[in-house]
Structure 1
Amino acid sequence: MNKLGLIAGNGRFPFLLLDAARAHGLEVVVAAIKEETDPEMNARAASDAGVRIYWLSLGELSRLIETFKSEGVSRAVMAGQVKHKQIFSSIRPDWRLAKLLLNLRTRSTDVLLGAVAKVLGDEGIELISSTAYLEPLLARTGVLTRRSPDEQERKDIDYGRTVARAIAGYDLGQTVVIAAQACVAVEAMEGTDATIERAGALFRTLDTEESVRHAAASQTTTLRRSLTVVKVAKPNQDMRFDVPVVGVATIRTMRQAGATCLALEAGRTLMFDPAAIIAEADEAGIAIFAE
């Protein structure tokens, strides 16, 4: 039986890929990251003889390679987020990772993970696309919800894509939050949901301040205050890692933040449980559009 190595980060992505790989008849060797992977992975491995799990620290690159080699793994996939801020944490890298970090020109996501992929490749372990076996979960083109983006949201999408693609080109993040063709929040290390939360918090503060001002002046504001979330792939997106991802939690975060529209890149954004995402969006009156 063919084997697949799975480097598992946080969230549901590793579980989805694990199930898809098993459905294709692959034996899966999971390298679970102590600082990131959901402990539920233990139960998943215990219930399936075709899954073996090894827990490693984020800094143990040599042990990752040794584990895959001892298991006869020649192909591997990264699935699930590893928070970029972890490279600034107290985690101690082993000699191999320390050497890799010292030789990097920058520590952006693409450069860092690309260097790890090269080290794995040099050791005979090919890192394959993180969308392998998950093509049905890639966003399809068009309006995905009952409601289409309105004229204002379409303008915000067009502007947001220009901004998002520019920042993605610098490997800063893949998400921006827009209102009335103005950028409210830009994603950095905190991740998509935290970016949306920050935008919502900013607008709540502005609403409070404006309510006080307009009440004092007996005026009303005419500026529409809904948020549009735009998520893009990088211009030269490496599908082996850091692929744009949305889930039900993204929609719930948008609802709480007052966001009414989500724009995605079709064919390059993974939707975890598309039916549940669309149902949640329809209930909240949120439009989802991909192109």
Structure 2
Amino acid sequence: MTAVALGARADRGVARRRQRWLRALVVAALTVLAVVFVYPLVWLLSASFKPRAEIFDNRLLPRTPTLENYLTVWDAAPLGLWLANTLVVTALAATTVTLSSALVAWGFAHYRFRGRGPLFGLVLATMMLPGAVTLIPTYLIWHQLGFVGTTVPLWAGNLFGSAFYIFLLRQFFLRLPREPFEAARLDGASEWTLFWRIAVPLCRPALVLTFLFEAQASWTDLMRPLVYLQDTATFTVPRGLKAVIDQFGPGGESQWEVVVTASVITTVPMILLFFAGQRYFVQGIATTGSKG
């Protein structure tokens, strides 16, 4: 018995050592990946405090730090106006697509009707269409409505939902038990009450996840602003950065300190948004299932 116990103890010791080595390798790999992904942001932040002659010296700590770049940026471009425009467009785009997609997803997940499967497949099939295919027809529609040159085309299309978000939210709705909804229906609750008072609170992480995804996509969208916006007073951040690069980048005055500083200013809001919604982001990813 003693030999058997000693052998089992030795095996456990070997298993623990292997586990420690494996954990150390995982931590080392994650550390390397974190450095790779964080380095460009750190370099950008550092470069924004450097004078023009030191921008590309690859030093993470500026030799002669200065705040002059930030003053120059605010004088050279209406960044405040562009940030306000982008904030409005992002809020409208994320809110409308979250609500509209949730309504459609709820219909596909909760109600049983003939043709539900083929119709849902048709919705998913729209994701196969590249954006370039629908760009011209969509432009012609907005032109006929008189909205070209305004920010309306940047968010109003989200009133009709998004196939990806419909799929995402439907998978979450399918995980909800039907008993609370049936009990509420027997108590006289309306269909809207079932959705708004029961389904929405239960799927809050998935809704926040949808909002964050669309907020990031809208904040960084350059294609549609390039197509629809012509006046600098209506520019969003990506369109404004394009103008800054054209003026101060390689095709202009080559003032890279202005370009990197403008990039830092416009990147910070997305970082803050991610940290504010990080808990919901992780929870939404973890709880969005594959049922159905």
Q: TM-score, normalised by structure 1?
A: 0.23
Q: Higher helix share goes to which structure?
A: 2
Higher RCO (C-alpha under 8 Å, 6+ residues apart): 2
Give the alignment's TM-score, normalised by structure 2.
0.23
